[in-house]
Structure 1
């Protein structure tokens, strides 16, 4: 029996565990929705969910593990590996973050690195006793890596966006030299599965665990969109457009590196992909279980394009692309008494797609026409979203399956195990294209008319921004 690659994908709202063959076939995948607390999420719950998911897959031929994970979720541990503080959902560390932004005007510190350090500095200022006990500062997926191997490691793109942290960071802010995780390439082996983790997960002790990567990197690579000119659009919690380049275009927003020598350019519609989940949580309750996209297509498709005049703005957390409008807010407009659930769903689908289109246009201006556009995240499950995005963007969109981020982690693991020469070769072999949707002239023309109306509502809302 072929060996199995086991991959954990820690998202903002869900944790997934997937099993792949070395050729990229998705064998199984299970997902658990995170339980929110008033202060955020519990890293120990992530670990329990990961263990339960791995055990449920009943894997008896695991060749190794790898990880994909969202950026910026800070976890702080004592020397025994016990959690002192987990990721919080507010901006209590804003003062510390501003200090770091001012400091980096003459240094280099990417946003994710600044966020982790700012949270530690906040702990030191407000909970000095906890900070004195803190031995490890980690990102979310790297906490799971630590539980698997005992290694204190992160990938370049989640951490310093390069092979090392700026040494002045430790000197100028009084940080212990080993507080932050060691940066490593996604296809390096971080360590081996410990005996404790083996007992908990049921996997063989000593199997290798790859570093893995930020979920944006994993999404591009796992969708087969890792070469210069490739675009990926992820509809997960956020709606993110990412293009891979060999150089940084003037004026472009650079997310992070795709090691060893590429760049990821893009923009983020904050909580844009979460909008449908948000509406369904209100309508059906947060314990409904099923993922939003793909389960509501029939209802939304029953309403004609234009949602019978209803318009949705998906700015539930403000706007940072293609322009920064922190006061932007989500809104429904054009509602009438006869509108119901199906109309609201259709409006959310369309509003999310129009927000993505605005960002896509900006990225295309920076990076040029895409060689390919791959759709990832929960939105890839929706035939309606695929069709609407193809028409509103006026490009052909391609999809793989619902395990793209985990497959990116599997690609890196396959390289780490020596199965492929590099992540390009691995992705060529391991990424299937299961669907392709080309734009249709009538749909493109309809979307242009509807997009103009959506933009008019968006601009009208500026007068009531916070």
Structure 2
């Protein structure tokens, strides 16, 4: 019998990644394609959807070329392995508008880092009622919500809107190009506020007519359900291979580390910091994002910082030092960064501040401070931001009894330790932290029928990614970080009027994340 292999591909902010995974969860191969986003105006962050598809094709070719019939196989792939299913995920919520044939009519507008639709948020709040939106959708409108961005295109690009018939996000667009199926997963739909009702799991038709008139809405599926099967062979993936509907990358990250149970909190260390708490019942929050989960019957309360790893990349480029040196110097700097305190709002801030005009602040700077102090202050700033988010989640009713960390930032050691010391949380670091592409492959594993492979090559995803280590807080630092966190919370209201005035004067785009790593 053939050995079932899984392919997972994820489109992120700064790169696309893919993995070829065996039935036991082992990553046999991985591939990455770096890319950049476009910023045609301040606060506008866009990307050409053709890049998503082209990179998927390149990644799949790299992962599976020698799996095609008759090809000589590499030693890293077991004899008999065949791609049995494909998983997809991507950044979001994004707004990609296409014509009725699925051809994009403009570049995709990206998630909360794109802050263009502030006026449309105000208009929709006035038209539909802010409290009504919160009650029905679970979340207030913000730069993260897809709905106001539809309204922005309709108002500012009427000729483009007149050609638009369908809406996609990166995962659903890849699934469409592979299968021809026009579907969107329930989780992504729940971030399309105010178009989706998370209690009924249906589109809100009367609000769709207000926000996105003339758009044919996609059929809704759960992320792990089949979107369709591949229409054509693609490298080593044969025609007729099932493809999942997929979902937004952070939720795929949570799947990758099995952080999808009530009480779980996933921390994603990447270009931005993302938090996903799984809760027993739908919660409402003015400043966080209430969504449905990756699986039927699950609910989440989530948050995201606008920058985290992006700040460390910025400091690396600014100082000319490499990460190894910066980490060593930050370690030597010690808790409190020798009197430096930073607000990490270098691209505005999403949750819980919800202020696109927030800016970074570095307080306490003297001539004696070093780049190690700056780097330590940046790590501590992101940790204070995590603590602010976690406290807000808990105030809204989320239990966070188990914390699982994922993403490239988990590898250095110091960053995760600082987060644990600041928050008091113990973090589980799983064996594999590659992230969303691995979660997409894990979703795809559910499409492989159990009975087909149950005798020789069973797939048991519960055994795929066991814990590798724990990061526990140092109790000796609790008082120090409690005092610094109180100062951190005071710093934003104390400086917001000044930074808002400065934001109005600048000609640079605060959302630029060039050079940042996912």
TM-score after normalising by structure 2: 0.78
Equivalence map 1:307-386=2 (5 Å): 307-367=337-397, 370-386=400-416
The aligned residue for residue 410 of structure 1 is 441
Q: What SS does the corresponding residue of 1:403 show, helix, strand or coil?
A: coil
Q: Does 1:451 align with 2:452?
A: no
The aligned residue for residue 274 of structure 1 is 310
Q: Deviations over 1:318-352 (max 9, x none)?
A: 33433444443112222233433322222111111
**1:461: how far off?**
2.2
The aligned residue for residue 169 of structure 1 is 207
Pair 1:337–1:419, CA change in 2 (3 A): farther
C-alpha contact (below 8 Å) 1:29/1:403 kept by paired residues: no
**Bigger shift: 405-414 or 105-114?**
105-114
Q: What SS does the corresponding residue of 1:266 show, helix, strand or coil?
A: strand
Aligned counterparts of 2:37 and 2:163: Cα–Cα separation in 1: 26
Q: What SS does the corresponding residue of 1:439 show, helix, strand or coil?
A: coil
Pair 1:170–1:457, CA change in 2 (3 A): closer
Aligned counterparts of 1:365 and 1:95: Cα–Cα separation in 2: 29
Pair 1:112–1:214, CA change in 2 (3 A): farther
The two structures, once aligned, show a CA RMSD in angstroms of 3.1
C-alpha contact (below 8 Å) 1:329/1:465 kept by paired residues: yes
Aligned counterparts of 1:95 and 1:325: Cα–Cα separation in 2: 14
Q: Does 1:261 align with 2:297?
A: yes
Instruction: Give 1:129's match in structure 2, choosing from 148, 155, 159.
Output: 159
Pair 1:417–1:270, CA change in 2 (3 A): same
Q: Does 1:83 align with 2:86?
A: no
Instruction: Give 1:48's match in structure 2, choosing from 48, 54, 68.
Output: 54
**Bigger shift: 343-352 or 362-371?**
362-371
Pair 1:325–1:42, CA change in 2 (3 A): closer
Q: What SS does the corresponding residue of 2:446 show, helix, strand or coil?
A: helix
Q: What SS does the corresponding residue of 1:32 show, helix, strand or coil?
A: strand
Aligned counterparts of 1:128 and 1:325: Cα–Cα separation in 2: 28
Aligned counterparts of 1:212 and 1:112: Cα–Cα separation in 2: 24
Pair 1:369–1:218, CA change in 2 (3 A): same
Aligned counterparts of 2:427 and 2:32: Cα–Cα separation in 1: 25
Aligned counterparts of 2:144 and 2:347: Cα–Cα separation in 1: 20
Q: What SS does the corresponding residue of 1:358 show, helix, strand or coil?
A: helix
The aligned residue for residue 29 of structure 2 is 28
Aligned counterparts of 1:174 and 1:276: Cα–Cα separation in 2: 39
Aligned counterparts of 1:341 and 1:426: Cα–Cα separation in 2: 47
TM-score after normalising by structure 1: 0.86
Q: What SS does the corresponding residue of 1:58 show, helix, strand or coil?
A: helix
**Bigger shift: 151-160 or 321-330?**
321-330
The aligned residue for residue 72 of structure 2 is none
Aligned residues between the structures: 452
The aligned residue for residue 231 of structure 2 is 194
Aligned counterparts of 2:142 and 2:29: Cα–Cα separation in 1: 31
Pair 1:243–1:96, CA change in 2 (3 A): same
Q: Deviations over 1:263-302 (max 9, x none)?
A: 11133222234222233344459xx9xxx7x895334323
Gaps of 5+ in 1: none
Pair 1:365–1:120, CA change in 2 (3 A): closer
Aligned counterparts of 2:176 and 2:142: Cα–Cα separation in 1: 19
**1:32: how far off?**
2.9
